[in-house]
Amino acid sequence: MNALLEMQGISKHFTGVKALSDVSFTVAPGEIHALVGENGAGKSTLMKVLSGVYPHGSYDGAIVFDGEERRFRDIIDSEALGIIIIHQELALVPLMSIAENIFIANPPGRFGIIDRGAVHRRTQELLAKVGLNESPDTLITNIGVGKQQLVEIAKALSKKVRLLILDEPTASLSEKDSQALLDLLLEFKAQGIASILISHKLNEVSRVADRITVLRDGRTVDTLDCSDGAVEEDRIIRRMVDRDLEHRYPKREPKIGETIFRVSDWSAYHPLHTDRQMIRNVDFEVKRGEIVGIAGLMGAGRTEFAMSVFGRSYGQKITGRVEIEGREADVSTVRRAIDAGLAYVTEDRKHLGLLLAEDIRKNISLANLDRIAPGRVIDDVQELKVASDYRSRMRIRCHSVYQETGKLSGGNQQKVVLSKWLFTDPKVLILDEPTRGIDVGAKYEIYCIINELADSGRGVVVISSEMPELLGICDRICVMNEGAFVGEFPAAEATQEKIMRAIMRKGEARP
Amino acid sequence: MSDTPASEKTMALQDKPHPPKSGHAGFLKNNLRDYGMMISLFAIMIFFEIVTNGTLLRPLNLTNLVLQNSYIVIMALGMLLVIVTGHIDLSVGSVAGFIGAVAAVLIVKFGVHYIPAALICLALGALIGAAQGYWVAYFKIPSFIVTLAGMLVFKGLALAILAGQSVGPFPVEFQKLSSGFIPELIPDVTTLYPTSLAIGALLALVLVWQNVRNRARQESHGIETEPYGFFIGKNLLLLAVIIYFAYLIASHRGLPNVLVIITALVALYAFVTTRTTIGRQIYAVGGNEKAAKLSGIKTERLTFLTFVNMGVLAALAGLVFAARLNTATPKAGLGFELDVIAACFIGGASAYGGVGRVGGAVIGALIMGVMNNGMSILGIGIDYQQVIKGLVLLGAVCLDVYNQRRS
C-alpha cells in the first residue's frame, strides 16, 4: 500500500526547546489517523510543519506526499495539494456570511468580479454535504460553535481536499455536535478523503480512527492499529503518559494549617450576556500550606471564577464574600486584591501576563512598584537587586536581567511571571495552567516553586487541565463544571477516573 | 557571565539570543537604535551647514531655529506619552490655535492681565485634554476618531471666537514668552553674553557629572556598562557640543526664554518617563494593556491623564506660538499635529505603543526643524520641502522597523 503522506524524521526547535525530535508519521489513502498526546507533546507543531506554517528549512526531515518530496513555503503550497488544516481556533470572519467565508480566498467569478449566484449555489451544495441546514447568507456570528466548525469543513471541501487535518475539532462542541462531526469524517473516508484527527477525547478517537499515533515529548511513541478490534483506552493513556511518574513531581510533606482563603456564595455573570450566570453561588476554601487543584474541562468556569475573584477582572454582577486570614477582604479592584494578599498568575502569559518588549527587571517589579519607589521615584539599584535576587532564586535562565522577556523560553517566562507575583508578597496565589506550553524539565522546576510557596505558609490554588499534574502536586482536588463545584477529593483518594466521572455526571449530581 | 551558575552551562545554549558583544564596534552595533537618531541629526546638521555655506549654524539662525521649533518640541513631549500608551492625538494643532485665539481675546479684547490669562488658557487646555481623554480612556472610542473630531471642533471654535480676523498685538511682556531673552547679569556687554554661556557650560557639566555618577553606581552593582573609551568619548563630545551651541547662542542675544522652558520641560519629562512609577506604568499600558491591568495598574486613568497632559502642553505651545507671531490668526496651528507626530515617530516611538523616548522625540523634532530651516535657506519651495520631509519620515520608520526585525 502506498502511503498518501509520509513525514520522515521531522525535528523542530524553538528557542531553548526541542518541540519535535525525529518524528515519523504516515497516512494511508482514505484513512482516519488519530494523533494523540498530552498538551505540549508536539501534535500541533507537527501539523504546522505539515501544512507549511513552518516552512521548509525551518525544520529537519522530509515530507513525502503522493510519492514526491514536498517543500512547502507556506500554507498556500500545501493547500494547493489538498492538505487542508482546520485549526482549534476557528479562522472565520464573524461579520461575514457563511458563503462569503467559504469562498473568502477564491470566490468563483471572472476578472475579479464575484459571481454571486455561483457562490450561493456552491455554498448550498457544500452545506448539504456537511449536513448544515443554514442559509448561505447567515452571518457567522449568528451561528453556534458547532455549526461554525461545519462551515470550516465546508470551506475545506470547497478546495478539493485530499487530506483533512482537524485540530481538536470537538473540544468546544456538545456531545451531539461531536457525534455528527465524527460521522461526517467517516463519510469522507468512504469518499476516499483521508483525515488526521487530533483529539484529547479517547472515546471519539477509538470510535473512528483506523490508526492511532501517540506523541510524547516531541517523539513518536507508538502507532496502534485499530483494524483488529478497538484499542483499549487505558493502553493509549499508558503510552501517552508513560514516564517515570515517580520523578515527574517533586515530593513534599504538606504542613496544612488554618483556613487562609475563603470564598463564599460567589456568583458572576457573563460580561456581555447579562442573564448568563457563569459562576453559580460557589463556596471555596484553601488552608495555609495547602495546594488545592481545580479540575474541569475547557469552559467549566475555572478561569472565570479565579478572575472574577481577582479584582473583578471577569464578568459582571459579581456577588459574594472573600475572606483572607479570617478577615473580609476587599477585592473589588485588581489593586485592592493585590493589597489584600491575592495574586493571580494567568493562563495566557503572553497576552495577559508579560510585557514582552520589556526586560525581566521591569516585568518583575511591575505589580509592586511602590516597594522599590519611595516617593514614586524608582530606585533602580533596588529594582536591580530584586530582579537579580529572583533570577537566582527562580533559576531564570537569561544572560542578564536586562533581557527582553519576549526572547525567553516558555518556562523562563513563567518564572518571570511567578517572580512578579511573589514580589507582591501574596498570602494566596491562584495559578492558572502554570505549566502550559512549558517543556518537561522546566515543569519540574515550576512544581518545586509551587511546593516552596505552600511550605512558606501561603495558600496555593492550581487550575490545570492536565489531570496527572493535579494528582501529582495537589493536596486536595476540586472539580468544576458549568460554573459550580461538582466534586472534591483528597489527593490520596483522587484518580483520573474519579475526576472524570465527577465531571460527567454533572446533570444529576448537582444539588 | 562570571556569575553564571554551573547548571546553566550544561543547558543547551545554541539558541541563546544575542550574547552581548564586547568591544566598541560590537557595542555600537547593539545600541545602534539608541544612537542612530543622534547620528542622523548630526549628519543632517553637518550636511546643511556645508550646503548653506555656514548659514545654518550662524548665531542668529540658530536662535531662530530654536524659536521656530519651540512649540513643536513642547507638543512632542505630550504626544510621545500619548503614542506610548498606544494612542494618537490629531487635535493638538487645532487646540494650540484655539488656545492662542482665546489668549488673544482675553488679553487684547478684554484686557485681562497676561498672567491670569495664561493660567486660564493652560487650565482650558487641561479641560480639552480631559474631554477627549474621557471618551478614549473610559468609553474605549478610538483616539483617532475622538481627536479627529476634536481637530474639527477646535479649528472651528478658533475661527468663531476670532470672527475670522487676526487679533493682536499682545503686550510686550507676553511677547517675551517666546521672543524674550534671559537678562544679562554682567552690564555693558555687546558681542557675547557671558551669563548664557555660563548656564550652557553648567548644564553640560551637570549632564556629564550625572553620567559619570550613574556609571560609577552601575559598575558598583555589577551592571554591564558601555566600553570605557566609548563612555569617555561620548561625554567629551556631549560637553563639546553643548558648550559650542551655548557659545553660538550667547554670541547672538543670549538664551531665549523659551529655550529655558523647553530645557526644563525636557528634563522633567525625561525624568518622569524613566525614573518614576507613573512613567513606568504608562509604558506598561502601551506595552500590554491587559497585563498592566492585571498587575493592578489603573490603565484607564493613566490613558486619561496622558490626554490631559497633552492638552496642557498643546495650550502652552499655543501661547508660545501666539506670542511669537504677536497675533492670533484663524490659521494658527494648521498642520502642527503632523510635525509633532512625525517628530515622535522619527525619534523611534512605536506606532503600536509601549516604545519611545523623550530624547528621541526631541531629536525627531530637531531633525524636522533643521530640515525645514536648512531647506528654506537653500530656497527650496514649501512644495518640495513637504515631499522631502514625508520621505524622511517614511525612511526613518522603515529603518527602525528593519533594525528591530534584524534583532
Which chain B residue has its CA at the smallest distance from A400's CA? B1
Question: Residue A400: its chain B contacts at CB < 8 A?
Answer: 20, 224
Q: Does A191 touch chain B (CB under 8 A)?
A: no
Tell me whether residues A352 and B295 touch, CB distance under 8 A: no
Query: Which of B16, B277, B355 is opposite residue A378, by nearest beta carbon?
Result: B277
Which A positions 362-421 lie with beta carbon below 8 A of chain B?
362, 365-367, 369-370, 373, 376-378, 380-381, 384-385, 392, 395, 397, 399-400, 402-403, 407, 420
Where is mean pLDDT largest: A1-10, A185-194, A202-211, B185-194?
Answer: A185-194
Same domain membership, residue B288 and residue B170: yes
pLDDT at position B21: 43
* pLDDT, tens only, A174-193: 677 788 888 888 988 998 89
Same domain membership, residue A240 and residue A326: no
Q: Give the model's confidence band at B194: pLDDT under 50 very low, under 70 low, under 90 confident, else very high.
A: confident
Whether the pLDDT of residue A392 is over 80: the answer is yes
- DSSP conformation letters of A376-396: GB--HHHHHHHHHHHHHHTT-
Per-residue burial over A211-232, b = 16 or more CB atoms within 10 Å of its CB, e = otherwise? bbbbbbbbbbbeebebeeeebe
**Cα–Cα distance for residue pair B347/A487, rounded to 1 Å:** 58
Q: Where are the alpha helices (DSSP H) in A66-198?
A: 75-80, 98-102, 116-130, 145-157, 175-190
pLDDT at position A291: 96
- Kindly report which listed range (A23-37, A66-80, A82-96, B60-74) carries the lowest average pLDDT score: A82-96
Tell me whether residues A334 and B294 touch, CB distance under 8 A: yes
Q: Give the model's confidence band at A491: pLDDT under 50 very low, under 70 low, under 90 confident, else very high.
A: confident
Residue A346 lies in a domain: no
CB atoms within 10 A of CB B266: 18
Find the helix packing angle between B114-139 and B143-162, rounded to 10°.
Answer: 150
Q: Count of domains in chain A?
A: 3
- Higher-pLDDT residue of A226 and B292 is B292
Which chain B residue has its CA at the smallest distance from A358's CA? B287
Whether the pLDDT of residue A381 is over 90: the answer is no
**Beta-sheet pairing, A109-110 with A113-114:** antiparallel
Whether the pLDDT of residue A54 is over 80: the answer is yes
Q: Does B164 touch chain A (CB under 8 A)?
A: no
Residue A384 lies in a domain: yes
Distance from B311 to chain A by nearest Cα, in Å?
24
Task: Summarize the confidence of residues A301-324 as an average pLDDT.
Answer: 93
Question: Residue B217: its chain A contacts at CB < 8 A?
Answer: 381
Report the mean per-residue pLDDT for chain A: 86
Same domain membership, residue B227 and residue B308: no
Same domain membership, residue A210 and residue A116: yes
Whether the pLDDT of residue A86 is over 90: the answer is no
Which chain A residue has its CA at the smallest distance from B216's CA? A381
What 3-state class would DSSP assign to A60? strand
pLDDT at position A440: 66
Residue B13 lies in a domain: no
pLDDT at position B167: 92
- Kindly report which listed range (A204-213, A244-253, A337-346, B385-394) carries the lowest average pLDDT score: A244-253
pLDDT at position A143: 84
Tell me whether residues B297 and A400 touch, CB distance under 8 A: no
Query: Which of B275, B287, B354 is opposite residue A378, by nearest beta carbon?
Result: B275
Which chain A residue has its CA at the smallest distance from B288's CA? A355
pLDDT at position A294: 95
Q: Give the model's confidence band at A167: pLDDT under 50 very low, under 70 low, under 90 confident, else very high.
A: confident
Question: Phi, psi at residue A106, to the nearest 5°?
Answer: -130, 70
Whether the pLDDT of residue A151 is over 80: the answer is yes
Question: Residue A311: its chain B contacts at CB < 8 A?
Answer: 294, 296
CB pairs under 8 A between A and B: 103
Same domain membership, residue B199 and residue B143: no
Q: Give the model's confidence band at A466: pLDDT under 50 very low, under 70 low, under 90 confident, else very high.
A: confident
Residue B28 lies in a domain: no
- Higher-pLDDT residue of A148 and B316 is B316
pLDDT at position B31: 65
Residue B23 lies in a domain: no
Residue B127 lies in a domain: yes
Query: Which of B11, B288, B298 is opposite residue A354, by nearest beta carbon?
Result: B288
Domain boundaries, position A62: 5-246
Query: Which of A352, A380, A407 is opposite residue B17, by nearest beta carbon?
Result: A407
Task: Summarize the confidence of residues B114-136 as an average pLDDT.
Answer: 96
% of chain B with per-residue pLDDT over 70: 90
Tell me whether residues A358 and B20 touch, CB distance under 8 A: no
Q: Does B5 touch chain A (CB under 8 A)?
A: yes
pLDDT at position A406: 87
Distance from B129 to chain A by nearest Cα, in Å?
24
Same domain membership, residue A109 and residue A46: yes
pLDDT at position A457: 93
With CA atoms as reference, report the closest residue to B369 among B66, B51, B54: B66
Q: Give the model's confidence band at A507: pLDDT under 50 very low, under 70 low, under 90 confident, else very high.
A: very low
Residue A17 lies in a domain: yes
Same domain membership, residue A108 and residue A45: yes
Question: Residue B284: its chain A contacts at CB < 8 A?
Answer: 355, 358, 362, 366
Residue A431 lies in a domain: yes
Q: Does A310 touch chain B (CB under 8 A)?
A: yes
pLDDT at position B19: 42
Which chain B residue has its CA at the smallest distance from A397's CA? B8
Question: Phi, psi at residue A370, to the nearest 5°?
Answer: -60, -30
Which chain B residue has its CA at the smallest distance from A364's CA? B295
Whether the pLDDT of residue B48 is over 70: the answer is yes
Q: Give the model's confidence band at B14: pLDDT under 50 very low, under 70 low, under 90 confident, else very high.
A: very low
Whether the pLDDT of residue A400 is over 70: the answer is yes
- Of B207, B226, B255, the residue that ends a domain is B255
- Of A395, A425, A455, the residue that ends a domain is A425
CATH of the domain at B149: 1.10.3470
Q: Give the model's confidence band at B195: pLDDT under 50 very low, under 70 low, under 90 confident, else very high.
A: confident
Same domain membership, residue B208 and residue B198: yes
Query: Which of A15, A373, A395 is opposite residue B17, by nearest beta carbon?
Result: A15
Q: Give the model's confidence band at A222: pLDDT under 50 very low, under 70 low, under 90 confident, else very high.
A: confident
Question: Residue A367: its chain B contacts at CB < 8 A?
Answer: 295-296
Task: Summarize the confidence of residues A300-319 as an average pLDDT.
Answer: 92
Residue B24 lies in a domain: no
Q: Give the model's confidence band at B282: pLDDT under 50 very low, under 70 low, under 90 confident, else very high.
A: very high
**In three state form, how does the secondary structure of A276-307 look?**
CEEEEEEEEEEECCCEEEEECCCCCCHHHHHH
Residue A398 lies in a domain: yes
**Cα–Cα distance for residue pair A419/A405, rounded to 1 Å:** 13
Question: Residue A366: its chain B contacts at CB < 8 A?
Answer: 280, 284, 292, 295, 297
Are B255 and B182 in contact by the 8 Å Cβ rule? The answer is yes
Same domain membership, residue B323 and residue B176: yes
Q: Count of domains in chain B?
A: 2
Q: Does A334 touch chain B (CB under 8 A)?
A: yes
Tell me whether residues B291 and A381 touch, CB distance under 8 A: no
Which chain A residue has its CA at the smallest distance from B17's CA? A407
- Of B205, B240, B255, the residue that ends a domain is B255
Domain boundaries, position B245: 188-255
Query: Which of B11, B223, B291 is opposite residue A384, by nearest beta carbon?
Result: B223
Task: Summarize the confidence of residues B129-138 as an average pLDDT.
Answer: 97
Same domain membership, residue B213 and residue B321: no
Tell me whether residues B276 and A395 touch, CB distance under 8 A: no
- Kindly report which listed range (A167-176, A331-340, B198-207, B311-320) carries the lowest average pLDDT score: A167-176
Q: Does B114 touch chain A (CB under 8 A)?
A: no
% of chain A with per-residue pLDDT over 90: 38
Quote the DSSP letter at residue A356: T
Q: Does A354 touch chain B (CB under 8 A)?
A: yes
Whether the pLDDT of residue A390 is over 90: the answer is yes
Q: Does B234 touch chain A (CB under 8 A)?
A: no
Distance from A199 to chain B by nearest Cα, in Å?
31
- Of A213, A228, A246, the residue that ends a domain is A246
Distance from A462 to chain B by nearest Cα, in Å?
18
* pLDDT, tens only, B69-104: 999 999 999 999 999 999 999 999 999 999 999 999
Same domain membership, residue B221 and residue B126: no
Query: Which of B20, B281, B354 is opposite residue A357, by nearest beta carbon?
Result: B354
Task: Summarize the confidence of residues B112-139 as an average pLDDT.
Answer: 96
Task: Summarize the confidence of residues B261-280 as an average pLDDT.
Answer: 94
Same domain membership, residue B361 and residue B312: yes
- Of B221, B255, B289, the residue that ends a domain is B255
- Higher-pLDDT residue of A283 and A143 is A283
Same domain membership, residue A192 and residue A92: yes
pLDDT at position B11: 35
pLDDT at position B285: 95
Distance from B12 to chain A by nearest Cα, in Å?
7
Task: Summarize the confidence of residues B2-13 as an average pLDDT.
Answer: 36
- Of A201, A225, A246, the residue that ends a domain is A246
Which chain B residue has its CA at the smallest distance from A352's CA? B291
**Cα–Cα distance for residue pair B142/B357, rounded to 1 Å:** 23
- Higher-pLDDT residue of A454 and A243 is A454
Question: Residue B8: its chain A contacts at CB < 8 A?
Answer: 397
pTM, full prediction: 0.80
Q: Does B137 touch chain A (CB under 8 A)?
A: no
% of chain B with per-residue pLDDT over 90: 60
Residue B22 lies in a domain: no
Q: Does A88 touch chain B (CB under 8 A)?
A: no
Tell me whether residues B296 and A420 touch, CB distance under 8 A: no
Whether the pLDDT of residue B12 is over 50: the answer is no
Where is mean pLDDT largest: A420-424, A507-511, B163-167?
Answer: A420-424
Question: Residue A354: its chain B contacts at CB < 8 A?
Answer: 288, 291
**Cα–Cα distance for residue pair A322/A309, rounded to 1 Å:** 8
- Higher-pLDDT residue of A242 and A413 is A413
pLDDT at position B265: 96
Q: Does B215 touch chain A (CB under 8 A)?
A: no
Question: Residue B15: its chain A contacts at CB < 8 A?
Answer: 13-16
Q: Give the model's confidence band at B134: pLDDT under 50 very low, under 70 low, under 90 confident, else very high.
A: very high
Report the mean per-residue pLDDT for chain B: 87
Strand partners, A166: A86, A197
Task: Summarize the confidence of residues A219-228 as an average pLDDT.
Answer: 81
Q: Choose from A15, A21, A355, A416 for mutation: most chain B CBs within 10 A.
A: A355
pLDDT at position B3: 39
CATH of the domain at A319: 3.40.50.300
Distance from B365 to chain A by nearest Cα, in Å?
25
